[in-house]
């Protein structure tokens, strides 16, 4: 009979723990990224007596239970609802991943689903505790550079960059019906060329200059392209100039890979990039403001791209030709990679791929980092540290957002606690506690009756 006393006490302890867990869930119903927990109950056996019925040849057993215990708590990793905030640096993860943040003092890494980040005075993306969000550095085209994690740092002032690359963009078309000019090329004579496009370039100090691209038809499917820029008007002639006189198109209207159009592997190794041969390019050593441009050998004027599947042959058309030659009006679109100094105006994070982009007063929007995501095969390996943080005894898989793990900008993930479910758990825990307390009361009454037998 005394066994029932102790069994009921284990029930009181277990259901008190359940109420503790439920109350913690309810207290965090509005905590960003909070994951609710539930108790894992296990029965306890004190003794088991096993016998054999020799007549029927069957087993029988008598089991004496020793109550219940809470073996552990299990975190519920369902995704909470997303709430729009309108704050560009608020982030949420659609998937199982967690943000990686670093304590700048101890250099300890933590993991969190809480995406309430802001830009610190020094330009770092930090959480409310000043821990720094981790990411992968990217180049100006958003391509990841290296694999190491870095503190995401948004520079407050963007230094000027000199132009070293001009890239033709689509749509760009040279009219196949154009006539061959009767006079030799002269940049000052509009009758000596078919079309002119003007683009602004910058030296290393951010000083802007006008550069003109001239297009002159020389024969069927053959064009001449000239680059001219008068960097210093007090000097006779053009300081920046280049002549490409044998630029060919095939009958399908696409550029041909030859001596004037050469190629190089792309930085990511996935494609070939085609550009005008810089051998005919002249670049000034200095500018009137004291700035410089990259050397002629480092200049690139990109005109096309193909997948890097085998080496192309001389004379092959470029499958993705940035400039085409169709029987249609002239249109040229181009961009260049230089810019003047700019001060930070805004910062935002692209949804899906998690690119952190700085917006500057010079009109430049520059991708700087991609937010890093940590994925754990078993989230139960994570250990709560408070302040919405976790540590882990194992090493996670670290990746950039995309695929199953997407970043949502301007949103926060709310707690996954369901109030109705927790109220039901609270009532169930309360009733279970009362039942075990009544067991103690009933056992005590029976013991009183037993004692009274000897009076």
**pLDDT score, position 1:** 58
- Per DSSP bridges, beta strands 300-307 and 165-173 are parallel
For 391-415, what is each residue's pLDDT tens digit?
A: 998 899 999 898 889 999 999 999 9
**pLDDT score, position 455:** 64
**pLDDT score, position 234:** 83
Mean pLDDT over 69-81 rounds to 93
For 364-381, what is each residue's pLDDT tens digit?
A: 999 999 999 999 999 888
For 214-231, what is each residue's pLDDT tens digit?
A: 999 999 999 999 999 999
- Mean pLDDT over all residues of the chain? 92
Mean pLDDT over 13-36 rounds to 95
Mean pLDDT over 233-238 rounds to 85
Mean pLDDT over 144-151 rounds to 87
Q: Please give the C-alpha separations between residue 421 and each of 25, 26, 36, 76, 424, in angstroms, as whole numbers.
A: 10, 10, 11, 13, 5
Does the pLDDT of residue 48 top 80, yes or no? Answer: no
Q: Which of 3-12, 32-41, 251-260 has the lowest average pLDDT?
A: 3-12
Enumerate long-range contacts of 438-447, CB under 8 Å, 24 or more apart.
439/4, 439/7, 439/8, 439/11, 440/5, 440/8, 440/9, 440/12, 443/1, 443/4, 443/5, 443/8, 446/1, 447/1
**pLDDT score, position 447:** 83
Confirm whether pTM is higher than 0.85.
no
For 190-212, what is each residue's pLDDT tens digit?
A: 999 999 999 999 999 999 999 99
Which residues are within 8 A (CB) of 220 and not within 5 positions of it... i.e. 6 or more apart? Answer: none
Which residues are within 8 A (CB) of 241 and not within 5 positions of it... i.e. 6 or more apart? Answer: 226, 227, 228, 229, 281, 282
Do residues 119 and 125 make contact, with C-beta atoms less than 8 angstroms apart? yes
Rounded to whole angstroms, the Cα distance separating 91 from 125 reads: 11
Rounded to whole angstroms, the Cα distance separating 65 from 116 reads: 49
Rounded to whole angstroms, the Cα distance separating 357 from 279 reads: 36
Q: Which residue has the tokens 């009361």?
A: 441
Do residues 242 and 213 make contact, with C-beta atoms less than 8 angstroms apart? no
| Residue 312, token pair as written in the block | 């192309």
Q: Which of 55-64, 98-107, 161-170 has the lowest average pLDDT?
A: 55-64
Rounded to whole angstroms, the Cα distance separating 371 from 350 reads: 10
Residue 220 CA to chain centroid, in angstroms?
48
For the chain, list the domains and their CATH numbers.
2-77+416-454 (no CATH), 82-156+371-413 (no CATH), 165-336 (2.60.98.20)
């Amino acid at each position: 009979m005394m066994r029932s006393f102790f069994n009921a006490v284990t029930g009181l302890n277990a259901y008190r723990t359940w109420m503790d867990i439920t109350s913690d869930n309810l207290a965090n119903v509005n905590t960003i990224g909070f994951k609710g927990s539930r108790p894992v109950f296990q029965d306890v056996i004190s003794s088991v007596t096993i016998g054999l019925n020799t007549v029927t040849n069957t087993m029988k057993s008598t089991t004496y239970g020793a109550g219940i215990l809470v073996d552990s708590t299990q975190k519920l990793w369902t995704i909470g609802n997303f709430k729009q905030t309108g704050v560009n640096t608020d982030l949420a993860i659609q998937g199982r991943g967690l943000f990686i943040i670093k304590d700048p003092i101890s250099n300890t890494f933590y993991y969190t689903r809480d995406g309430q980040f802001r830009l610190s005075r020094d330009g770092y993306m930090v959480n409310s505790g000043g821990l720094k969000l981790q990411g992968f550095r990217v180049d100006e085209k958003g391509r990841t550079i290296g694999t190491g994690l870095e503190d995401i740092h948004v520079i407050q002032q963007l230094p000027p960059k000199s132009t070293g690359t001009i890239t033709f963009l689509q749509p760009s078309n040279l009219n196949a019906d154009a006539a061959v000019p009767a006079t030799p090329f002269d940049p000052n004579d509009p009758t000596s060329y078919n079309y002119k496009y003007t683009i602004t370039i910058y030296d290393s100090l951010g000083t802007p200059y006008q550069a003109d691209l001239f297009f002159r038809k020389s024969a069927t499917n053959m064009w001449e392209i000239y680059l001219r820029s008068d960097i210093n008007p007090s000097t006779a002639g053009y300081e920046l100039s280049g002549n490409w006189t044998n630029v060919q198109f095939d009958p399908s209207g696409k550029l041909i890979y030859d001596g004037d159009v050469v190629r190089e592997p792309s930085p990511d190794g996935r494609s070939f990039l085609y550009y005008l041969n810089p051998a005919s390019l002249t670049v000034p050593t200095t500018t009137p403001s004291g700035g410089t441009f990259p050397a002629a050998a480092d200049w690139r004027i990109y005109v096309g791209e193909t997948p890097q599947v085998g080496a192309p042959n001389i004379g092959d058309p470029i499958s993705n030709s940035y400039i085409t030659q169709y029987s249609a009006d002239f249109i040229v679109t181009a961009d260049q990679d230089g810019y003047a100094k700019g001060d930070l105006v805004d910062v935002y994070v692209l949804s899906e791929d998690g690119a952190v982009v700085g917006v500057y007063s010079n009109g430049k929007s520059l991708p700087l980092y991609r937010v890093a995501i940590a994925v754990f095969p078993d989230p139960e390996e994570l250990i709560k540290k408070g302040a919405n943080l976790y540590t882990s005894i194992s090493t996670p898989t670290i990746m950039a957002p995309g695929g199953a793990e997407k970043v949502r900008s301007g949103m926060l993930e709310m707690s996954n606690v369901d109030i109705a479910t927790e109220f039901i758990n609270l009532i169930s825990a309360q009733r279970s506690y009362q039942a075990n307390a009544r067991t103690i009361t009933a056992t005590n009454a029976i013991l009183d009756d037993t004692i009274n037998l000897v009076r």
